[in-house]
Chain A
């Protein structure tokens, strides 16, 4: 796995990582082109502190009445200072990804997610930006050979700053992981402390059987005016001639999701009507950290159905930010 890593003393040199991608999305017959770069910076300070940040820069070329229009977006996903206080406690301050469910923290990076778009219920518990400004505590409560429990709890203030937009809220997540079964279950909670105070609840289940390339991930979330779930599976064909073979680099993917509306709410970022969406795709992992993403989806709503075709090419990079110790 790490055959090319030179054997030398591990160091704490700051690093730059991230992904560069070019995506296309044909939604209801209209095709958009979206070149994106998402760099990550991680810089350790002393033995217990880490400063880390992830930015997103993208240009969206989309069809208009008189040819293609373009919009651009530059923003931060997080800019945070982590203080590793004890073996089981890390204190995070700054602008961080809101710990609700699993997608936002684990799968939203462009070089990780199987699909170009996040799930429809992503705004539940994470808001419109997916990030919070304030303080978070997190860590591993228990870690044994049979199970581990991790936790995260946060408080976020209201921020209208363009780069650090967030709302006043609190919440957290607890997960238990059974390594022998490859099973993780967890629950999340968020309470909006804005003028109208509302609660959001979530549950997640991941199953990744040991010794197989199969992965199943799923989440359910409930908010004041809507609820929904998604189930995603992938299965890399590495059993056929190994991971590095032409066939073994193919990864069929599948996602099914539903949103149920109980009340109209134009502010919550969720579909305005009951929605079902099924997606099939094939990802292909080329050598040198390049990945091809393709998917076809069908969105079904009471006001009409539509097809969603998406393709993407993503390159993941990782290198030291400057010279290390000799």
Chain B
């Protein structure tokens, strides 16, 4: 078997494992129920902000561990340009970062 063919098999195997792990229903349900339990404890605006943060910011990078509230507005304005956020989405994220 050529090196190229072996690499293709390896690639296929890795992709299969990753897809199976991502689609594992039990874990997905657990994650969903944990998220839902958390959501009931917070208000709707906070939920909306978190959702928008995950949809627009977390897709590329992890959230910073901490930052000063003095720069919360600047971070959101920077992300508004970088991630092409609408005004409403930017306001929801600002509320999430600094309720």
Contact = CB atoms under 8 A, between A and B. Distances in A.
| Pairs of residues from A and B, 10 with the lowest C-beta to C-beta distance, nearest first | A214-B22, A324-B70, A4-B66, A150-B84, A87-B87, A10-B72, A10-B98, A12-B73, A140-B86, A8-B69
A298 B82 CA distance: 33
A87 B68 CA distance: 26
Contacts of A52: 78, 81
Interface string A137-161: 0111001000010111000000000
B75 to A, nearest CB: 7
B4 A276 contact: yes
B39 interface: no
B45 interface: no
User: For the side of the interface on A, what is the size category?
Assistant: 35 or more
A113 to B, nearest CB: 10
B88 interface: yes
Given A10-B98, A13-B70, A289-B64, A214 B77 contact: no
Contacts of A267: none
Interface stretch (A58-66, A122-130, A190-198, A205-213): A205-213
B66 A2 contact: yes
Given A50-B78, A112-B60, A143-B86, A2 B4 contact: no
A208 B15 CA distance: 14
Interface residues of B, number: 53
Interface stretch (A31-39, A68-76, A221-229, A314-322): A314-322
A9 B86 contact: no
B20 to A, nearest CB: 10
Interface of B: 3-4, 7, 10-11, 14-15, 18-19, 21-23, 27-28, 31-32, 35, 51, 55, 59-78, 80-89, 94, 97-99
B7 A278 contact: yes
26 contacts: A1-B63, A2-B66, A5-B98, A7-B98, A10-B69, A10-B72, A11-B74, A42-B77, A44-B77, A82-B81, A92-B81, A138-B84, A140-B85, A140-B89, A148-B86, A206-B59, A211-B31, A212-B27, A212-B31, A214-B22, A235-B21, A256-B11, A298-B7, A300-B7, A318-B64, A320-B70
Given A44-B73, A105-B82, 17 more contacts: A1-B63, A7-B98, A11-B71, A12-B77, A13-B73, A14-B71, A15-B71, A42-B78, A52-B78, A84-B81, A92-B81, A112-B60, A152-B84, A212-B23, A318-B67, A324-B68, A325-B70
Contacts of B89: 140, 143
Nearest to B19: A214
